[in-house]
Amino acid sequence: MSVVYKYCDGYGIEILRNLEIKIAPPNQFNDPFEFTPHIICSNTRRLAKRMVKEKAAIRELYEQDKRQGTFKGNFRDYRKRHKANQPALLKLAASSLPVTLITLQKSLLDTVSAEFGILCMSKRRDSLLMWGHYCDKHKGIVIGFDDSNSFFKQVAGLRPVNYVRARVRIDEGAPDGHAEWLKCRDELVFSKNDEWRYEEELRQLFMLSSLKKKTLKNGSVGYFCPVPSLAIVSVTMGMRTPSELEKEIQSLLKGNAFSHVKPDKAILHQSDFALDFEYKLNCK
């Protein structure tokens, strides 16, 4: 068993209280480069043909023409007309590719975020920067999880992030399903700018449609996944965690569901820019 950690602000106690964890779409992350690859096209004709023949795109054009009153027939008739006009449409698609690729690159993050969410964990619990950024300036908590629990085997499982200096490059002109094409899409999920290396992040991908939806206090929609209590193995309070929050954590950990969890608290190292951890009084 290895322990992986979730840095949380004061609302991290909801993980303990409700036994569910928030899964965030990547457009809610603090790094604007998430899911923004450098998109190129090595085969303009192949991509143009794909664009012209894509059923969803044809359907969108059909609905648009119906709204504008420029086509009166049904979708089947529209597809016949579309097929007859393919040579001219291919030329139009090819000529518009530069703009199309730029638009795709800018919109990919929101497109992915409409379907997928990501659980972000860390291999470490002692990062001063992460305690400051994600734990409300050391007022929150860090929860440790057993990465061998079945919870972390869902979908593709929990995997480490690869830190890179160059943005992932995706070739939209490659054949669908091509090995290089699939490799690039995998890299897109599990790659991050090298400047974030200190986080030692691990990620797990989820389909948003499979998750529980809740309206958050700011009015936005949050996505949550149930997590077994046995997956939780540690709770570390920050050096500035308010006493009220500490007491509530202690109270929750008295329950049988958390009989295996021993809380501790981060404290300043006596001489170094580092954290030590002291065991809190037994709350059982």
Determine which of 107-116, 133-142, 272-281 has the lowest per-residue pLDDT on average: 272-281
| Mean pLDDT value across the chain | 89
Q: Cite the DSSP H helix spans in 36-96.
A: 44-53, 55-68, 75-84, 86-95
Q: Calculate what percentage of the chain has a pLDDT beyond 90.
A: 61
User: If you average pLDDT over residues 46-56, what whole number do you get?
Assistant: 75
Domain coordinates in residue numbering, the chain: 3-25+114-161+194-279, 40-113
Sequence-distant (6+) residues with CB within 8 A of 215 are: 221, 222
**Spatial distance between the Cα atoms of 127 and 147, rounded to a whole number of angstroms:** 19
Backbone angles phi, psi at 195, to 5 degrees: -65, -15
d(CA 42, CA 174): 7
pLDDT over 50 at 206, yes or no:
yes
Q: Which residues pair with 162 in a beta bridge?
A: 191
Q: Residue 152: is its pLDDT beyond 90?
A: yes
- What is this structure's pTM? 0.82
Q: Residues 221-262: pLDDT tens digits?
A: 999 999 999 999 999 999 999 999 999 999 999 988 999 998
Measured distance CA(187)–CA(32) in Å, rounded: 17
- Over 70: is that where the pLDDT of 113 sits? yes
Closest by CA to 208, choosing from 190, 223, 188, is 223
Average pLDDT over residues 122-145: 97
62 or 210: whose pLDDT is higher?
Answer: 210
Rounded to whole angstroms, the Cα distance separating 269 from 260 reads 27
